[in-house]
Structure 1
Amino acid sequence: MKCIFFTTCFLCLSFFGYGQNYYGLSATLTDENATELVGATVLLLNLPDSTMEEYALTNEKGIFKITAPKRTNYLLKISYMGYEDYEKILDLNQKMDLGTIVLKEKSELLESIEVVEERIPIRMNGDTLEYSADAFETQEHDNVEALLKKLPGVQVERDGTIKAQGETVDRILVDGKEFFGDNPEVAMKNLPADAINKVQVYDRKSEMAEFSGVDDGVEKKTINLTLKEDKKHGFFGHLEGGYGYSVPDQFEATSENHRYLGNVSLNYFNPKVRLSTIGAINNINEESFSFMDYINLMGGIQSMMSGGSLNLEISEDDPLGALLMNNQEGIAQTIGGGVNFNWFISNKTEWSTHYFYSILNREKDAYNFSRSVNLNQFFIRNSWLNSTVQAGNHNLNSTFTHEFDPTQDLKFEIRFKWNDAASNRQTREQSFGGNNQLLNEIDQGYNQKQLGWGLNSNVLYRKKFKKKGRVLMSNLVFGYSKDNQTSTNISTTNLYNDGGSLQLVDSLNQDQLVLGNQQIYGAEFSFIEPLGKRNFLDIKLVGMLNLDTKDRQVYDIEHGNNLINSALSNLFQKEYNYQTLTARFQRNQKPYTITIEAALQRSFLKGIFTNGQADLARTYYYPLGAIALDYKISNSSNLDFRYQTRIKEPQIQQLQPIINNNSPLALYIGNPNLNPEYHHEIDIQYNLFEQFSFTSFFANASFTVLQNQIVDNQVIDENLRIRYQPENTTVGYQGRLYLSFSRPIKVLGIKFNIGVNAEVNQRTSQINAVANEELTQRYTFKASLENRKKKIVDAIVGTRIDFNKSAFSINNSLNTSYLNYVAYSDVKVTIAKKWNINTSFDYKIYADPSFAENIYIPMWSAGISRTFLDANQLKIELRVFNILDQQLSVRRISQNDMILESRANTLGRYIMLSARYKITQVGAKNPDDGIQLIEE
């Protein structure tokens, strides 16, 4: 198996450009006044076909450096906006320094010159790094993701995360507007590459900073895709369908072996309207939409204010949560679809709406092995699980914006969700103490149905006054959600004594009904006053009221009758409101911005119980504050420092003093005496992106002190049944360090990426009233190597290593660690522009004596495709997935004084034939034939 991997790696590396002589070419670029020209585009073109060999941008001193293979008949071409182009034919047979090159200003800007400038692959436009999409060759059926992978300084990781200039991209815009919300993956995977004219990378300021002109220090890395003119008018998209079947070892096809996929992306754009629809259906474990799609598009209760955020709680017990968990476990069938509508009513008014619908049906078989910490030793739990889930989810988001005049605007947002889900879980579990003594076992059937909906809206009004920088903002928020859950819990628990004899049989047959609703009312007012030219004062008042109700009714079924279980039933009403008054002072003095923020927050927590528990009513006053420094070291590097405090209030499940017995061996009971956590957070970030050599370095270090940290204390009885209850502990600590480095090696024709992440988490909990300090450390190392020129071969090899270690103060012999690592390679080869051969190989290793055995999982897939018709509009592909028929998915976690390994079934080997048809718009304008394609 290792031989296959290293053979694949060798094939990748064999395409990298070894064996050539490379020489350096450099010069200094100035204008006629001897002023250095920064960000000019330098192209080294092969003659006679004018294909591009290398390119560069001049640095802050007007210097460029290019490393290229030895060759005669190069054309050096230098372009800079507002200046005449410089061209020189040269032979690169040694290291060359051209000295100072002087560009002359243009007397006029001709249309023909504008066309030539479209060929410039990269240029700086102010603070924006702009790529010309046509300069990076893509194939007919490539999407935006394939285009981004070819751009220097942009990295698309295997999980879909996009990084530009070393930082994570949180949003992709299309002509400056959102496309299906703000999840970059939707635009990246559903827009065709050949529809893009420019790719612009920049730091997007907050909406408030853009409106007021006062920089608040909040910036997010953003990509804006500008469409080609012919794609701004008309219809384009694609249709795809595929059919295949699983291939078991016996090569026996049955009805359960049939596999299918289908997806569609259709877009209609004109200057007034954008209408897009996407859809997907498959039974090959591919996600219709991702976790972030759900988070960004959910219509339930989440704060849309800058003042306070509410946490989204998801557990695997929640059938709707299955939509968001690992889709590689089990066998899944998914359907998803969405519609996006943008109506540009006028230059001042815009209305956008997008709707998503997703369905999941999944069946999973799993074996779980866990080691939990007791006072003097570990105890072991083994469980066997069969589960089925059916979950559906609707999300509708709509935004209306109107600009009354250049000084004031209005924004109205509304989000709606509706979900319907059901799950069935059959579990058999055994627990073993010292000397591998069986102490309990349980057989349980748990069924749950959930139906809920939620509405969230806000109205934002902003006003600028005559005095520059003086701004008034008001934001009103309303939210409501309703959730109904019904479940049946049937189990038989056998408890054994030390001698292994059966001691007690405990049977459970219950119906459970949970009715919940939540309301949020909020208001935020902010006034910004300039103090001189560089100083600003922001006074902000935020108020929020959260009403949360959980009515839990549990019935014991005896002889066919439902009897209320008063010990497990309760109606709990929680009221939480807070008011925050904040004063923020900011000074903008190049090259730095300093911000000092002071706030006082009053919080009131009230709880009403119906089970005899005394009501609670507590008021808290917290001083809050922040200090931030944003320092721009140079045009290519900056340093940011921030210290802030915040509070985190307990959730309603943590406060409700009722036993949750969904798992009879692990009971959970809330604690109405919890206090909010108080956090001190320090964050330091350094970012370097050298756009002239496309070297990026990103470093981030953060440290958090958690006062009154909420932890789950444990009481473990002699039969290894655990009772969890949240309690406030003294102080906890969390630290994180992240480093990433990326650089091309032009001599070898490759680019490498290295990333290191370290996390430390310290907390103190109690096990049977004995304090236990747990220190968890997680370390991740990632590295990848890929070729730069991807016209014929696109290859990448990489590895990821994860190390996890937990130490416990109650007994050092209980300390544990585990190691996971994966090596991978992806190779795509284009032959004669119409044929493509691709293969991917992953080799996963889970190795550590803390678990029962080492696990090795090789995953190999390969395919071949060809395009047809005059414009290559039809693509036929034959692909074999999981060639080695590995039907195992492994997951490891460490939490709550426990390490867990879960082994679940997954989709085995299957072969699929698919067809993809690209739809081009009718009546589109013909692109300018004079624009020449140049390769990277």
Structure 2
Amino acid sequence: MLRRFLFIAFLFLAHAGFAQQARTVSGIVKDTTGAALPGSTVKLIMANDSVTSVTNATGAFSFANIKATAFTLHITSIGFQGIRNQYNGGESALGTFTLKNESTLLGAVVVNAVIPVKIKGDTTEFSASAYKVRDGAPAEDMLRKLPGVDVDKSGNVTAQGKSVTKVRVNGKDFFGGDLKTATQNLPANIIQNMQLIDDYGDQANLTGVKTGEPEKILNITIRPDKNYGYFGQATLGDGSDAQNALVGNGEANRYVASGSLFSFNGDRQIAGLANFNNTNSSLFSFGSGGPRGGGPGGGGGRQGGANTTASSDGITIARSLGLNYRDQWGKKISAYGSYSFSDNTVNTLSSTTQTNISTTSPSVNSLSNNQTDGRINHRFNFNIEYKIDTMNYLKFIPSFSYAGVNTDLSQTSSLVRNGSVANDYSLLSTLNSSAPNVGGNVLYNHKFNNKGRNFSINASAGSTRLTQTQNPVYNYTAGTASAPLDQLISTRVKLDSVGTTLSYLEPLSKRSFLELNYAYHYAHTTSDKSTDTLTTAGTRNRYSLLSNDYEFNFITNRVGLNYRFIESKYNYTLGLAVQPSLLTGNSPSTRVNTRISTLNFAPTARFIYNASRSQSFSFNYNGASNQPTYSTLQPVIDFSNALYPTQGNADLKPEFNNNVSLRYNKFDFQSGNVFFTNLSFTKTDNKIVANTINYPTTYTPNSKLAGTILTQYLNADGFYSAQGGYSFAKPWQQRRYTLMFNGNVSYNNNISYISNVAPTTYAMTTQKNIGKSLTFTQGTKFRTDITDIIDAELNASYSITKTNNSLTQNNINNNFRTFALGLTGKNYFGPTWTLSYDFTRSMYYGYTGSTNPNILNTYIEKKFLKQNVGSLRLSAFDLFNQNTGFSNTATSSYVTETQSNRLGRYFLLTFTLRLQNFAGGKRPTPPRDGGGQPPFGGMGGLGSMN
């Protein structure tokens, strides 16, 4: 296998080196004032070929490997008259070209090349025409080609070192901002450009004063010529799970049925999606209730392609539906929103080894789980924007969501402490929970007649209810029975919150502004927890020690003053905020009363320097508090996990985070080289950390704690983390070939406390443990992208995760390494045949019992019918049947290693029908089929994507 892999790599590199040496043709483009014209299009036309370039920041251009002695040079730049010169003597240095201002309309200028990347402030824009994909491909395929962007096997997107958390289409949220819903279902060739934006929220976008930590979002802009028409696709597939069919175990049949419809009618845009499968693919992400990963069989252009390796743990049966709507209600009101639904069933088999850190009684816990989760999710959100007039703007956002979970768990556990078995049990547990959430947000902005003077208010309110019933039943075969053998735990949590932010902006000059802001937030939480135990007589009694009624309030007020200065190439914001906070709580049953007040000062500093259209530097500092959660405050012991009970601390203080980030981006117009780098640092005061208490098996003051490891919570200083990353891409031959390097490093200085209770005296000793964790990843990719011939990528990555604890133990393995090699691509044979392959070789070092899997997914596809609207695909997934999940978690209290089941080898045959009709900037006239009726419900005729 390795020889084949190296042979393929050799062919790639050999193909890239065929070019022969020749002279370099160069020159400089300027305007009539002598200023350079970066981004100008320069086309060199020879007898049988032509090449195109764009000028760099100094206006220079060059063409390497030119052998022709006679050629024509055509130079254009938007806003200037073009030049066309002929050369016959084999010239090299062409000197300076001066372009005159263009007095005619821009529409008369012919642009023969595009600028692939534009960088300005918080936005990096990629032109879709520079990153071409095959007809029918989803947006995700284009996203994979963008420099500085990484899309993993599950469809999660990382850009410039940060996770992309939200998606918009034409500046508006698409399916509530659900990223993979857009990237895996929108067709790529209706896209004009993709923008990666550091978003500070609606209020900041209106005022221009951006503070706090931004959210990385993706905005997809639709081509204007696709504004009227529709795109629809339906996929049906059936196959077999060869392994399960052979042994008669589990589901032997694999199936997928998906459909999508996108209708564009000017301002009105409607999208409908549906997906039913048992191949680990779900349309939507709902946090913990969302999909288990981007497996095969997704909607849109995915169809269960070879690039959709099931990298999620467990086997999922998914049922999903969704609708997205956007329209303009008159001249002043725009409305957009979505509804998403999923009903997923997930079965996960896993084995975990957890090594618990302790200087006196270290322990190793071996767990085996068989868990089935039934998850139902609803999500509805709507946006109404009302542009009252040129001075007033109003936005209203109502939202509703629901998460329901039904879990059946079968578990075996064995705890070995100091070389002997301290505890051994089996567990059967059921859990049922429901959590509806309703909320709303109102944003109002008013511009005054005095230019730059602005007032805005953003108010929000929300209410969440959690109702949960859990029934853990233990059967001990060794050691002391810590938790009650049969519990019925009922929990009811209610969280109500309101908040508002006010901002007033006053211009001091044409370039400077002063902003006064105020923010208020109030959250009220009540929790009723009742634990009933089963008696020998078969009745249930309330267990008072494990039951509690608790409520707490968290109130923050924040007053800030910011100064903003704007120049053509740079802008900065300096400010200071004062934030007092108050945490109050009481528990009648435990007689715990809490009242904690804190005062924090939060400076703000933000600086952006746009050196040119291709180069940007930014610096950002902010401070913000983080309130304790219900589970960290709840003072009653939770024994739902017998070996690892938890108990909150009602005296916790809020955390305060100090965040610093740096970013530098550069794009070279001439070479096409792209470079991104970022650094960030976070220091947390009053960090909420764990205090793990190891109890001996002979502990008698509370026999329920005997032999357990109790987790409590404390505040601690000294926590900090640092992250850094870079990405460099070098394309050549008009991006037919691209070499990319990317690396990331993170370092965490974690704090925890380890407590040990003496076996005889029961005296407790507590020690502070500092866990220094380092993670380093380096990756390399080589892409070749020749339109309608090959689109392939060779990649390699090496990752190290290492943790050192100040309380050391020789028996803890805290050094994990992963080396991965991959080859992913598609070969095209004419307009109708496609061969796809996705091979990954993973090598794990430091994992107990790990294997080094070879994962190969492949398919062959044939397009047919009129205009190739139909396709038949035969797919094979995990041909070597080695897909197994390995993961590790290293904290300053424990280290875990987990192996989980994943979707193994299976085969799938799918048929896809793709229908579309677009009519540019005018309404389409539907063509008629042979029977005189417009297909697809009268929405227009068949068409091919251009």
Q: 2:746: which partner in 1?
A: 759
Residues 913-924 of structure 1 aligned to structure 2 (within 5 Å): 913-921=909-917
The answer to whether structure 1 residue 406 and structure 2 residue 403 are counterparts is no
Aligned CA distance change for structure 1 residues 164 and 776 (closer, same or farther; 3 Å): closer
1:183·1:293 contact (CA, 8 Å) conserved in 2?
no
Of 170, 187, 192, the match for 2:187: 192
CA distance in 2, matches of 1:130, 1:732: 36
Deviation at 1:294, TM superposition (A): 7.8
Deviation at 1:638, TM superposition (A): 2.8
CA distance in 2, matches of 1:254, 1:717: 42
Deviation at 1:610, TM superposition (A): 2.4
CA displacement, residues 774-805 of structure 1 (integer Å, 9 cap, x when unaligned): 22222222221112434311111112222111
CA distance in 2, matches of 1:835, 1:415: 45
Q: 2:943: which partner in 1?
A: none
Aligned CA distance change for structure 1 residues 581 and 77 (closer, same or farther; 3 Å): same
Calculate the aligned-residue CA RMSD, in Å: 3.3
2:337·2:383 contact (CA, 8 Å) conserved in 1?
yes
Aligned CA distance change for structure 1 residues 920 and 424 (closer, same or farther; 3 Å): same
Aligned CA distance change for structure 1 residues 378 and 20 (closer, same or farther; 3 Å): farther
Q: Which amino acid aligns with 2:832?
A: K
2:311·2:885 contact (CA, 8 Å) conserved in 1?
no
Q: 2:447: which partner in 1?
A: 464
1:860·1:883 contact (CA, 8 Å) conserved in 2?
yes
1:629·1:641 contact (CA, 8 Å) conserved in 2?
yes
Aligned CA distance change for structure 1 residues 69 and 146 (closer, same or farther; 3 Å): farther
1:130·1:201 contact (CA, 8 Å) conserved in 2?
yes
CA distance in 2, matches of 1:635, 1:89: 31
The answer to whether structure 1 residue 421 and structure 2 residue 421 are counterparts is no
2:596·2:651 contact (CA, 8 Å) conserved in 1?
no
Q: 2:701: which partner in 1?
A: none
1:640·1:686 contact (CA, 8 Å) conserved in 2?
yes
Aligned residues, how many?
Answer: 883
Deviation at 1:229, TM superposition (A): 4.9
Q: Which amino acid aligns with 1:523?
A: T
Deviation at 1:588, TM superposition (A): 2.2
Deviation at 1:844, TM superposition (A): 1.3
Residue ranges of structure 2 left out of the alignment (5+ in a row): 292-309, 698-706, 756-765, 927-946
Q: Which amino acid aligns with 2:552?
A: K
Greater CA drift, 340-349 or 176-185: 176-185
1:494·1:505 contact (CA, 8 Å) conserved in 2?
no
Aligned CA distance change for structure 1 residues 840 and 674 (closer, same or farther; 3 Å): same
1:825·1:840 contact (CA, 8 Å) conserved in 2?
yes
1:25·1:97 contact (CA, 8 Å) conserved in 2?
yes
CA displacement, residues 494-536 of structure 1 (integer Å, 9 cap, x when unaligned): 444xxxxxx6687610111101111011122111111122221
Of 723, 726, 730, the match for 1:736: 723
CA displacement, residues 155-213 of structure 1 (integer Å, 9 cap, x when unaligned): 65655455778887665543444432334433332222332355567777854455346
Q: 2:676: which partner in 1?
A: 698
Aligned CA distance change for structure 1 residues 679 and 123 (closer, same or farther; 3 Å): closer
The answer to whether structure 1 residue 353 and structure 2 residue 337 are counterparts is yes
Q: Which amino acid aligns with 1:868?
A: F
Q: Which amino acid aligns with 2:485?
A: L
The answer to whether structure 1 residue 476 and structure 2 residue 459 are counterparts is yes
Q: Which amino acid aligns with 1:637?
A: Q
3-state SS in 2 of match to 1:186 = helix
Aligned CA distance change for structure 1 residues 620 and 27 (closer, same or farther; 3 Å): same
2:917·2:924 contact (CA, 8 Å) conserved in 1?
no
CA distance in 2, matches of 1:587, 1:70: 52
CA displacement, residues 856-893 of structure 1 (integer Å, 9 cap, x when unaligned): 11101111111112311111111111000114221211
Residues 529-678 of structure 1 aligned to structure 2 (within 5 Å): 529-558=506-535, 559-678=537-656
CA distance in 2, matches of 1:430, 1:255: 27
Q: 1:911: which partner in 2?
A: 907
Q: Which amino acid aligns with 2:610?
A: K
3-state SS in 2 of match to 1:659 = coil
CA distance in 1, matches of 2:16, 2:910: 31
2:850·2:886 contact (CA, 8 Å) conserved in 1?
no
Greater CA drift, 677-686 or 16-25: 16-25
Q: Which amino acid aligns with 1:261?
A: V
TM-score when normalising by structure 1: 0.87
CA displacement, residues 576-599 of structure 1 (integer Å, 9 cap, x when unaligned): 111111111122245432322111
Deviation at 1:344, TM superposition (A): 0.4
CA distance in 2, matches of 1:45, 1:165: 37
3-state SS in 2 of match to 1:615 = strand
Greater CA drift, 15-24 or 75-84: 15-24
1:121·1:131 contact (CA, 8 Å) conserved in 2?
no
CA displacement, residues 351-372 of structure 1 (integer Å, 9 cap, x when unaligned): 1120111121111211111222
1:150·1:790 contact (CA, 8 Å) conserved in 2?
no
Q: 1:289: which partner in 2?
A: 284
3-state SS in 1 of match to 2:810 = helix
CA distance in 1, matches of 2:924, 2:225: 5
1:862·1:881 contact (CA, 8 Å) conserved in 2?
yes
Q: 1:81: which partner in 2?
A: 78
Of 115, 121, 133, the match for 2:114: 121
TM-score when normalising by structure 2: 0.86
Of 374, 392, 399, the match for 1:390: 374
Deviation at 1:772, TM superposition (A): 2.0
Deviation at 1:8, TM superposition (A): 4.4
Deviation at 1:682, TM superposition (A): 2.5
Greater CA drift, 799-808 or 721-730: 799-808
Of 857, 860, 863, the match for 1:864: 860
Of 178, 181, 194, the match for 2:176: 181
Q: Which amino acid aligns with 2:752?
A: S
CA distance in 2, matches of 1:293, 1:264: 25
Q: 1:24: which partner in 2?
A: 24
Greater CA drift, 224-233 or 240-249: 224-233
Q: Which amino acid aligns with 2:711?
A: Y
The answer to whether structure 1 residue 510 and structure 2 residue 482 are counterparts is no
Deviation at 1:218, TM superposition (A): 8.4
Q: 2:886: which partner in 1?
A: 890
CA distance in 1, matches of 2:424, 2:502: 57
3-state SS in 2 of match to 1:669 = coil
Q: Which amino acid aligns with 1:697?
A: F
Q: Which amino acid aligns with 2:448?
A: F
Residue ranges of structure 1 left out of the alignment (5+ in a row): 297-325, 497-502, 928-936
Q: Which amino acid aligns with 2:660?
A: I
Deviation at 1:647, TM superposition (A): 1.9
Deviation at 1:761, TM superposition (A): 1.6
Q: 1:323: which partner in 2?
A: none
CA distance in 2, matches of 1:836, 1:568: 62
Aligned CA distance change for structure 1 residues 59 and 215 (closer, same or farther; 3 Å): farther
Deviation at 1:550, TM superposition (A): 1.1
Q: Which amino acid aligns with 2:114?
A: P
2:859·2:876 contact (CA, 8 Å) conserved in 1?
yes
Deviation at 1:43, TM superposition (A): 3.4
Q: 1:301: which partner in 2?
A: none
Aligned CA distance change for structure 1 residues 628 and 30 (closer, same or farther; 3 Å): closer
Deviation at 1:747, TM superposition (A): 10
1:286·1:327 contact (CA, 8 Å) conserved in 2?
no
Aligned CA distance change for structure 1 residues 88 and 873 (closer, same or farther; 3 Å): farther
3-state SS in 2 of match to 1:344 = strand
Deviation at 1:712, TM superposition (A): 0.7
Greater CA drift, 910-919 or 197-206: 197-206
Of 135, 139, 145, the match for 1:144: 139
Q: 2:52: which partner in 1?
A: 55
CA distance in 1, matches of 2:662, 2:119: 26
1:511·1:554 contact (CA, 8 Å) conserved in 2?
yes
3-state SS in 2 of match to 1:826 = strand
2:212·2:622 contact (CA, 8 Å) conserved in 1?
no
Greater CA drift, 403-412 or 374-383: 374-383
- Percent of counterpart pairs with the same letter? 24
Of 474, 497, 500, the match for 1:491: 474
CA distance in 2, matches of 1:419, 1:625: 38
Deviation at 1:380, TM superposition (A): 1.6
3-state SS in 2 of match to 1:85 = strand
